[in-house]
Chain A
């Protein structure tokens, strides 16, 4: 006999969590889904976003979300730089798979250890007026620290979707994932387009990182929990589709929330990774193509 109150609140909390997970995954949908670059260092960029929000709000009394927006161009440039490096080192040589993966894995690791060396292993958090209070609608509790990142995240994804489907560069990005040669014939350089796209995917980490540190205190090693979630959601969502990705994010958020509430938080990490394994085993997007 499960309490209805508890179940509904667990589901609502899961939806809010899913909205946040969508922000975390949208970058991978672009870089892995569309550009076929397995950027497993994505959680490292997200953590960089979190720590950027932390360090700036420590010295300047400004809302962390503002910091997230202000840092967008910085992360965009970082993303473009990383792509350049990746392109010259691997894509040109045509040896993407192992070397590329090892590269990003090394990057993930170096980022985490550097954060430990600079900031230590203590948890860091930010303060904001919406961290703490909750909205109470009848039996439903909506903690503002989850609600606001969720809403901003969905807005961000909607804006990206519009950009991709309406603007020239956006449509070029969608095109390059399908047919690079045709794109060249259209007089757009695929490399330049991919660079912009990868830059965008890392830029989303600026905001995603800010959401993360609003929702929970962060420390360098929590990035690892997100690798599985990100790829699970991306694969489950069909790799390239934003609406699919959002639906997958909500699903995983809800299942994690229900598991944590009814079975205990110690099982929650296995949820996303378990989903991933099952999806990969049953719907192998590999040899069968997308």
Chain B
């Protein structure tokens, strides 16, 4: 399927889901929970561009995600700040904040790429952890966005397009999911994707073969970071209270690693499977048991899958298909030999 066709198809699917759910689900909590699952589809897909396609594992999802959230917080406070200088601007609309969040996170992703240019896998991963803490410390010490005590965001009274505000956030996040999945699929089928795969399989050989590894890595980190920032941009309006402790929470890092690993890292389908399954389990567990337990589930599943099924659910499915095909093949050959 060509990319353009896929985009239209995916957009239609997304639109259908949004319309149907908004008609049939009257309890707001459904959208509250669904938002999180969609958010993780974006985060996992974004992570997978750098992790699954290029082979560089990133533990700093929290940093890019929080940068998107805090850039929205800054824009949210901007009208009030400018008013003190007698400059009047209207409230910044959320889609604009999403774009800005993506740009800022993308720039940070680019910077991360530069800093970690020559680091091999392990050191890159540790460097992303370090980056996360450094960014968090900077935000903690920045009073304008509330620092350690956090910032309160009051949602606008009216949601554009009518309906409740949480449904609006849900719709936006669905749109972001569609966009990020289309981007991932497009990368997979393009020369960019081939270049990424070459880096993942053997970076030294790729370089020797003439692949511009440095440039490709920078593209990967920038793109991945930008998408994560876009996923984070609506967060302040979702939680209404933003603080560094929760926005840089390691849970985002673990989930964005676990979901592609469990779903399957080699294709755009894997992160969706991982995000939907793991995200839904977590939301159910939060409402019924406790939220600490659901974090435990994620960690344990990650370890299990990494050990037993490193290619994720997609890997298990395709392995089964291969085995089935092999069995059929063998049966056919036996039949032919007997005949």
- B116 contacts which chain A residues (CB < 8 A)? 280-281
CA distance A267 to B254 in the complex (A): 25
B141-A106 in contact (CB<8A): no
Number of residue pairs across A and B with beta carbons under 8 Å?
131
Complex interface residues of chain A between 90 and 137 (CB less than 8 A to chain B)? 95, 97-99, 101-103, 105-107, 109-110, 113-114, 116-117
> Is A158 located at the chain interface by the 8 A CB criterion?
no
* A274 and B126 form a contact (CB under 8 A): no
Bound state CA distance, A227 and B60, in angstroms?
Answer: 13
B9 within 8 A of A: no
- Complex CA–CA separation, A105 to B127 (angstroms): 14
Cβ of B299 and Cβ of A276 under 8 Å apart?
A: no
Q: Do the beta carbons of B122 and A101 come within 8 Å of each other?
A: yes
The reply to whether A267 and B137 form a contact with Cβ atoms under 8 Å apart is yes
A88 to chain B, nearest CB (A): 9
A170 within 8 A of B: no
Could you tell me which residues of chain A, from 3 to 53, have a CB within 8 Å of some CB in chain B?
38, 40
Does B310 interact with chain A (Cβ within 8 Å)?
A: yes
Question: Contact: B303 with A103, CB < 8 Å?
Answer: yes
The reply to whether the CB of B131 lies closer than 8 angstroms to some CB of chain A is: yes
Please state if B299 and A110 are interface contacts (CB–CB under 8 Å): yes
Which residues of B come within 8 Å of A, CB atoms?
51, 55, 57, 59, 115-116, 118-127, 129-131, 133-134, 136-138, 140-141, 148, 250, 253-254, 257-258, 261, 292-293, 295-296, 298-300, 302-303, 306-307, 310
Q: Can you give 28 A-B contacts (C-beta < 8 A)? A: A40-B125, A98-B121, A103-B307, A105-B253, A105-B254, A105-B302, A106-B258, A106-B302, A109-B299, A109-B302, A110-B296, A228-B130, A228-B133, A231-B130, A232-B130, A266-B137, A266-B140, A267-B137, A269-B136, A270-B133, A273-B134, A276-B126, A277-B115, A277-B130, A277-B131, A277-B134, A281-B115, A281-B116
Question: Which of chain B's residues have a CB closer than 8 A to the CB of A85?
Answer: 307
Residues of chain B with a CB closer than 8 A to A40's CB: 125-126, 129
Whether B306 and A273, one on each chain, are in contact in the complex, defined by CB atoms closer than 8 angstroms, is: no
Q: Is the CB of B254 within 8 A of A109?
A: yes
On chain A, the residues within 8 Å of B299 by CB distance are 106-107, 109-110, 113
Q: Known: A110-B296, A266-B140, A280-B123. Is A98-B303 also a contact (CB below 8 A)?
A: no
Given the interface contacts A38-B122, A110-B299, does A95 sit within 8 Å of B310 by beta carbon? yes
